[in-house]
A and B are shown apart, each in its own frame.
Chain A
Amino acid sequence: MLRILQARWKQGYRTVGFPDKPPTLPAMYRGRPHCDAGKCQAGCTACIDACPTGALRKEANAMSIDLGRCLFCTDCEDICPTKAIEFTREYSMATRTREALVTDGRAFELAKALDGEARRLFGRSLKLREVSAGGCNACEADTNVLATVVFDLGRFGIQFVASPRHADGLLITGPVPKNMELALKKTYEATADPKLVIAVGACAISGGIFAGNPEAGKGADAVVPVDLYIPGCPPHPITILDGLLRLLGRIE
């Protein structure tokens, strides 16, 4: 018993100050990319060729990057001869619509909070059922980590629950492979209305690296309607937490 108390003392207080204080991110952290079409060379397609998921688009005077597909690997940034693409340290990336993820990164419409009845119902208590549907266990792991003392999700009234019957919504990871489609639909149907769906990671948003594999699926919104998109491969836990808190109106 004494040893347990000694250990408690030694292990200390470890919960991060976020959202009241800015988060500590790795020095080499790669956040939301910015593109500058003005710097882009005419006729050059180096970034488009380098992108593993086809996330980049170039039109006459515009460039865009689809954060729903982006793996944040920086292959495009590395190959660009004119530095038209730059990965910043901005960790806020969640959106309420799929379209908002297609951006030049500068003008970016972050997720707006739920309003009216939904805010009243979920704002102070949100119970989520996580469904891994072809996820590689990276998004799952960095969602799970939110429940540790470091992020202490419970302090925001958010909790992962063991059954869709206990849940206000689903948090989906993975591209939803053919073999998980029915299970996901059934889990969705088993969740009481009104309900929310949150897609976490490039796979759940667009199929990610697996898009195009006939076995793999095209993401969550091909199967169920999605209310919040959190991009990344996998998103940093702070990005996931930031998205959830924005949805509940805890961060403006």
Chain B
Amino acid sequence: MTTLPQIHNGQAIPWKNVPELAVSEWRAAVLERVHKGRRISALFGVPDDKQVVLVAVLTNDQQATLELCRTSVGDTYPSLTTDAPQAHWFEREIAEQWGIVPEGHPWLKPIRFHPSYTGRDAWGRDRSQPIEPCVTDYFRVEGEEVHEVAVGPVHAGIIEPGHFRFQCHGENVFHLEIELGYQHRGIERALVRSVPVRAYPQSEGDNASRRHYEPRTPHLAETLAGDTTIGHVTAYASILESLGGTMPPPRARSIRAIALELERLANHTGDLGALANDVGFLPTASYCGRLRGDFLNMTALLCGNRFGRNLVRPGGVRFDLPQETANELLDRLRRTFDDTRNAVNLLWETPSVMSRFDGTGSVCRQDASRLGLVGPAARASGVNLDVRSDLPWGGYQLHPLPSVTWHTGDVAARAYVRWFEIEKSVEFITDEVKALPSGPVAQDVAPPAGEHLAVALVEGWRGEICHVALTDERGRLKHYKIVDPSFHNWFGLAMALRDQPISDFPLCNKSFNLSYCGHDL
């Protein structure tokens, strides 16, 4: 096996040390590793003179390392998807962004519906014609009693837009195809455009304290997926810190981890309530709706905003956690958790709920692992991976959290995993707040190193968030790649719907609760 450089989570490496392999060697190096159980955390194109360079970031969960390799490609290259299904969405993205055709890809379609960045179009579409979202080929099942159901972009609830197309036989779903792109806001490219070398004074008269990013950029990271504000901005901050060779102070690392777990608590609690709602069990739906807000209010206790806006910044956090606030946080956490346990236990005790959860929307372990699912969706199918325990960063390095799995892969499993994670997060926050390190909560970040590549993984509440940045010779961002967990998991939802009644779609969808904007960027 070709030897590849290994880095840790949140480490930068000189670009020249990322080995450039011939396409066939690169392909073999990636496939060998995937077949040995490494995961593709990122696979993307980077513009380089007139060519495009494909970069693979492969995660070795057992050894807590990331392996990197790259190759230059022309208009086409042999697709990885045929031998590694988890590459399928990445290769569709590469085709759409750079106009490069992965030859042999079984279902090569756009994923976000925008013109390519190079002017080359992988599908030879007429450049004078606008690209309409989700106007594309769809997988079709033909037959006398087969019918098609199309849903979206605008959905019935207060939900982000996306298009779902079901091939049905009576009530039964043969296949669901998910097309997104309505939320595409061009954030990756905006991050690259926004970051100059010039340093911004952090406060008046404090010339020593400077930051090397434009005011706009952390906000762009925070709004990648607003329900994952802390998760994404932590990854972004970690990228700038590793490029600058800076480590945030211990107290800031703890506060970030506390905020990330609060984000998980709010969303997992909300999801359990939404699952109850989708099977018509209103007590838990109603209580969890309120309790989710109580967790959001704890985040607001830390920083004034229910979603954690403006808390995490490169170098640390903007707000300290004074003792009095810490005490109030612990008190509220204890009370809210008590109510949450009471509300959620009703689910497990109610046969009419469990009979709807059990066996619905199953994804087997093998499919979950081959498709590269992450987060609670993967863990509910028995795939044991969690960045917090496998590749811990920041506050998790000294205080790892156990990874929680379940084996049935159905809606019940995705509900159980969320509940166990709620229990573990509450313990984590309690311990962390009680043993909060002393000292400052922020420090200066040195300017980003030139011609370096940095990778940051964060376990958000939906799963692995991966940010990758590449700098030019002056330390400016040349490329920024974001992989939201939803990018890996949307196809998992499609798999879960196979051979299910179409009326179970809302329930299955909620059990994944994926991000549209996080996918669309």
Q: Could you list which residues of chain A lie within 8 angstroms of chain B, going by C-beta atoms? A: 3-4, 7-8, 10-11, 14, 26-30, 46, 49-53, 71-75, 78-81, 129-145, 147-150, 160, 162-164, 174-175, 177-180, 182-183, 187, 208-210, 212-216, 233-234, 236-237
Contact = CB atoms under 8 A, between A and B. Distances in A.
B300 A29 contact: yes
Which of the listed residues A27, A46, A180, A187 has the most CB atoms from chain B within 10 Å of its own CB?
A180
Given A133-B182, A136-B225, A141-B227, 17 more contacts: A26-B306, A28-B301, A46-B204, A79-B204, A81-B204, A81-B205, A131-B154, A132-B159, A135-B226, A138-B226, A138-B227, A140-B160, A144-B157, A164-B154, A180-B133, A209-B216, A234-B226
A78 B203 contact: yes
A171 B298 CA distance: 27
Contacts of A51: 215
Contact of B185 (A3, A134, A142): A134
A187 B154 CA distance: 8
A81 B132 CA distance: 49
A131 B156 CA distance: 10
B159 A140 contact: yes
A139 B309 contact: no
A28 B319 contact: yes
B229 interface: yes
Contacts of B185: 134, 175, 177, 210, 213, 215-216
A129 B155 CA distance: 10
B301 A26 contact: yes
Given A26-B301, A138-B226, A179-B184, A234 B219 contact: no
B158 interface: yes
A183 B158 contact: no
A150 B343 contact: no
B303 A11 contact: no
B149 interface: no
B220 interface: yes
Interface in B168-204: 181-187, 189-190, 200-201, 203-204
Nearest to A4: B283
Given A26-B301, A73-B219, A233 B309 contact: yes
Given A73-B310, A163-B156, A137 B225 contact: yes
A180 B310 contact: no
A22 to B, nearest CB: 16
Contacts of B517: 134-137
A143 B158 contact: yes
Contacts of A149: 286, 289-290
Q: Which 7 A-B pairs have the closest CB atoms?
A: A138-B226, A28-B304, A136-B226, A215-B186, A162-B156, A148-B289, A26-B300
B216 A74 contact: no
A69 to B, nearest CB: 12
A179 B113 contact: yes
Interface of B: 112-114, 132-133, 153-154, 156-161, 181-187, 189-190, 200-201, 203-205, 215-216, 219-220, 223-227, 229, 283, 286-287, 289-290, 292-293, 297, 300-301, 303-307, 309-310, 319, 325, 339, 342-343, 345-346, 349-350, 515-517
Contacts of B293: 145, 148, 150, 237
A162 B301 contact: no
A131 B349 CA distance: 36
A137 B223 CA distance: 9
Contacts of A144: 157-158
Contacts of A142: 306
Contacts of B342: 7, 10-11
A247 B305 CA distance: 25
Contacts of B203: 78-79
A187 B156 CA distance: 12
A214 B186 CA distance: 8
B378 to A, nearest CB: 22
B158 A7 contact: no
B219 A130 contact: no
B225 A75 contact: no
12 contacts: A7-B343, A10-B339, A49-B215, A73-B309, A81-B204, A135-B183, A136-B227, A138-B227, A145-B289, A177-B185, A179-B182, A183-B154
Nearest to B281: A4
Given A135-B226, A141-B227, A236-B306, A177 B184 contact: yes
Contacts of B346: 3-4, 7
Contact of B183 (A130, A138, A180): A180
Nearest to B223: A136
A95 B447 CA distance: 42
A137 B160 contact: yes
Nearest to B300: A26
Nearest to B153: A183
Contacts of A234: 226, 306-307
Nearest to B285: A148
Nearest to A131: B154
Nearest to A143: B158
Given A4-B283, A138-B229, A162-B156, A71 B309 contact: yes
Contacts of B350: 4
B418 to A, nearest CB: 17
A174 B309 CA distance: 17
Nearest to B301: A26
A97 B428 CA distance: 47
Contacts of B305: 30, 72
Contacts of A53: 216, 219
Which of the listed residues A11, A78, A144, A215 has the most CB atoms from chain B within 10 Å of its own CB?
A215
A163 B152 CA distance: 11
A211 to B, nearest CB: 10
